Amino acid sequence: MRQGESLETISGLRAPGAEIVCDEVRARQEMFQVSVEETFSSGHALRGYKGKCENVHGHNYRVQVTLAGPQLDAVGLLVDFTELKRVLRGIIAVLDHQFLNDLDAFRVVNPSAENLAKYFYDETRRQLTSLPAGSAITEVTVWETDTASAQFRPENASQ
C-alpha cells in the first residue's frame, strides 16, 4: 500500500466492519457448469453487408448452450441434460434446413452468428423453466464453421 492510501482504494478492496473482501474473489464463488451442443444446417444472406456473405449461402452450424449455478438440485444435477437437449433440439427444429431470413425472428434482424446466439439464449431461457436458485444461462456459442464462432453472454450471467 502506498502512503496515504486506504484498503478501500486499492483494487476494489473494501473493509465492511473488520472484514476485508475483494470483489474479484467474491465473484469467483464456486459454480457448477454444464454445456450441451447440437448441430443444424441452414441458409441465410446478410442484409446490408458488402461482401460475399450478402449472397445466399449456408452453414453447418454448431451451437453450445452453457449454464452455471452455485447449487445442484435434490438429485445432484444443475440441469437435466435430457431436458436441456430437448429444449435445444426444439429450437433447432424451427431453424434446421430453413432459409433463416424467411423466419419471423430474422425478417428484420440479420441472421448473423451473433444474432443467432442471442436468439438461442432468448429461446432457451424462455423454455427452460426449472433451474435451481441462482442458476442461469451464462453463454451461448454459435459456430458457422470449425474456426469461426460468435458468443452471447447476458450481462448478469454467473461468472
What's the pLDDT at 30?
A: 86
Q: What share of the chain is helix, strand, coil (3-state, %, to 5)?
A: 30, 30, 40
Is 0.85 topped by the overall pTM?
Answer: no
Q: Reply yes or no on whether 97 is catalytic.
A: yes
Q: Reply yes or no on whether 57 is catalytic.
A: no
Give the pLDDT band (50/70/90) at residue 99: very high
**Length of the chain in terms of residues written:** 159
Q: Reply yes or no on whether 144 is catalytic.
A: yes
Among 38, 53, 83, 114, the one annotated catalytic: 53
In tens, the pLDDT along 121-150 reads 999 999 998 888 899 999 999 999 999 999
Among 37, 54, 57, 97, the one annotated catalytic: 97
CA-nearest of 151, 158, 159, 145 to 65 is 151
Please, are residues 26 and 100 in contact by the beta-carbon 8 Å criterion? no
What's the pLDDT at 27?
A: 53
In tens, the pLDDT along 50-96 reads 999 999 999 999 999 999 999 998 899 999 999 999 999 999 999 99
CA–CA dist 40, 89 (Å, integer): 9
What's the pLDDT at 157?
A: 62
Indicate if the pLDDT at residue 108 is higher than 90: yes
